[in-house]
Amino acid sequence: MVVSGQGNPRPPAPPDVRSARHREAAVRIAVLASIAHRVPPRDYGPWEQVASTLAEGLVSRGHDVTLFATADSLTSARLRSTAPTGYEEDRSLDAKVHEALHIAGLFERADGFDVISNQFDFLPLAFSRLTSTPVVTTIHGFSSERILPVFRAYDDIGHYVAISDADRHPDLTYAATIHHGIELDGFSLGAGDGGYLLFLGRIHPHKGTATAIEVARRAGLPLVIAGIVQDESYFREQVEPHVDGRSVTYVGSVGPTERDRLLGGAVALLHLIAFDEPFGLSVVESLVTGTPVVAYRRGSMPEIVRPGVSGALVDGVDEAVTAVADVGALDRAACRADAVARFSADRMVDDYARLFARLTG
């Protein structure tokens, strides 16, 4: 059963698009993405990346998918847009105005869907009692305890998805924990022969860029830093002074090809976070190139990194330095295999599809 939601009707997907192993009936699914960035994001944008991976995977399984995202988004789903582009990319756009239009654009058509996948954070919850269509809200993390009241208020119908067990809040009821998964295409098994350590992520105190610099220095290995600068003063004061192009190199934001090369050549990825990170896409990206990860033991890290298989969980700078020396002995193919089995897009999409089938069945 493939039925067009409304507008621009598409013909049903041909049967060969559907994998035989997916036994769910086709479902009319709305995926509500964040509009901070385009889907998929050009560089930073983990929420938009997950929305893209999910939408593509659901389309490939023969579902009738409508993606609500910015007008410059790229998708094989039906695209519905109110915002021309991401409000982080065009500062003439008022974020609050475009969020309101974007969410209303979905809920004014909500009855045409069997299920809504809310990848947007909490504001859509305020609309969720105004339709009988179930709204599945993926909680991409809690910016602070101050946002809990709205999650509590919709706990009865929220169908919340945690992105790690570590990020589950004790006050809330969850429909599932679904770890993110990534498209494997862009990530090949690397040789890890570049003789450097890698920091990959936004430059922000949360991400421990300065800690990575210290650990690399003490481990006697050069550090390559890749990612957008999210905290300018942190970059200026604690990162930039160490950048000398030899022991510490900053390469800015990198595209898919360069990212694959940088990851595959690294001895290890340093993920010495200063907060309980709910998930770490860059950690998974590293693992699937075979590059082990040395991570602080907090947040979701114990659910992602397998000590002795794909890296090390450490509790301080000293342990991190020791771990850097040790993880070089790990089998990179086994590291990749473990990550592929647990963090592929296929696995994530299967998990969501199963949840949607349960709610619409």
Contacting positions for a second copy (CB under 8 A): 82, 92-94, 96-98, 100-101, 103-104, 107-108, 122-123, 125-127, 129-131, 144, 146-147, 149-150, 153
Burial profile 221-260: b = 16 or more Cβ within 10 angstroms, e = fewer: bbbbbbbebebeebbeebbeebeeeeebebeeebeeeebb
Query: For residues 87 and 196, which CB has a smaller minimum distance to a second copy in the complex?
Result: 87
> In angstroms, what is the minimal distance from the CB of 122 to a second copy?
7
Q: Which has the closest alpha carbon to 58: 126, 113, 111, 109?
A: 113
Q: Which has the closest alpha carbon to 196: 274, 264, 259?
A: 264
> In angstroms, what is the minimal distance from the CB of 143 to a second copy?
9
> In angstroms, what is the minimal distance from the CB of 150 to a second copy?
5
> In angstroms, what is the minimal distance from the CB of 66 to a second copy?
18
Query: For residues 71 and 333, which CB has a smaller minimum distance to a second copy in the complex?
Result: 71
Looking at residue 135, the DSSP 8-state letter turns out to be: E
- Element at 134 (helix H, strand E): none
| Residue 344: strand pairing partners | 182
Which residues, including other chains, have CB under 8 Å from residue 360's CB and lie 6 or more apart?
27, 114, 115, 134
Query: For residues 120 and 234, which CB has a smaller minimum distance to a second copy in the complex?
Result: 120
Which residues, including other chains, have CB under 8 Å from residue 164's CB and lie 6 or more apart?
177, 179, 278, 279, 299, 300, 303, 304
Looking at residue 293, the DSSP 8-state letter turns out to be: E
Query: For residues 74 and 130, which CB has a smaller minimum distance to a second copy in the complex?
Result: 130
Query: For residues 98 and 179, which CB has a smaller minimum distance to a second copy in the complex?
Result: 98
Burial profile 38-75: b = 16 or more Cβ within 10 angstroms, e = fewer: bbbbeebbbbbbbbbbbbbbbbbbbbbbbbbbbebbeb
> In angstroms, what is the minimal distance from the CB of 96 to a second copy?
7
> In angstroms, what is the minimal distance from the CB of 248 to a second copy?
38
Query: For residues 120 and 235, which CB has a smaller minimum distance to a second copy in the complex?
Result: 120
What is the C-alpha separation between 326 and 320, in angstroms, rounded?
10
What is the C-alpha separation between 10 and 150, in angstroms, rounded?
36
Instruction: Give the number of other Cβ atoms within 10 Å of residue 4's Cβ.
Output: 15
> In angstroms, what is the minimal distance from the CB of 87 to a second copy?
10
